Amino acid sequence: MQRLILGGARSGKSAFAERLASQSGKPVVYIATAEAQDAEMAARIEQHRQQRPPHWQLVEAPLQLAAALQAHADADAILLVDCLTLWLSNQLLHAPENLQQTLDTLLAILPKLPGELILVSNEVGQGVVPMGELSRRFVDASGRLHQRLAAQCDEVVMLIAGLPWYLKGKQ
């Protein structure tokens, strides 16, 4: 089972994904994509750490997500990636020339992964078109990534005000 969990900032998507992983009873590998570039982000990362069960394995993969998924996928475990939009931002800042190849690589390996996968991402395409070029590239890339992931995943859930709205699967 592969799930895509979408939502706006503070929509409850991470907590929902963590509940799904916990309720499975399987070992969880939490793949974090954030980089603490400033004090505010470091505080956010720490808050997420405090919320997670201490027995979950943590893998930090701000850039090499496909490799981390391949290395840690297991038929008897759950991989939880939080979050794709931070990973995408990292790609745009560190290796924009490789963005399309990196996205294609990620999407190609997903069907080959054993076990369960939960992908968390911010839905950013429902607002005003950003003024800056980098911001527009990010919104465009995340929208295209979400569309491709939604087509591949078994289940797609949008979180609004902490409530799940099933867009695909679990009818």
The per-residue pLDDT for range 13-45, each reduced to its tens digit, is: 999 999 999 999 999 999 999 888 888 888 888
The amino acid occupying position 63 is L
Domain range for 120: 2-168
Phi/psi at 65 (nearest 5 deg)?
-65, -45
Of 48, 72, 94, 146, which residue is the catalytic one? 48
The number of folded domains in the chain is 1
- Per-residue DSSP letter, 148: H
Q: What b/e readout covers 20-38, taking b as 16+ CB neighbours within 10 angstroms?
A: bbeeeeeebbbbbbbbeee
pTM above 0.75, yes or no: yes
Q: Is 48 a catalytic residue?
A: yes
CATH number of the domain that residue 125 is part of: 3.40.50.300
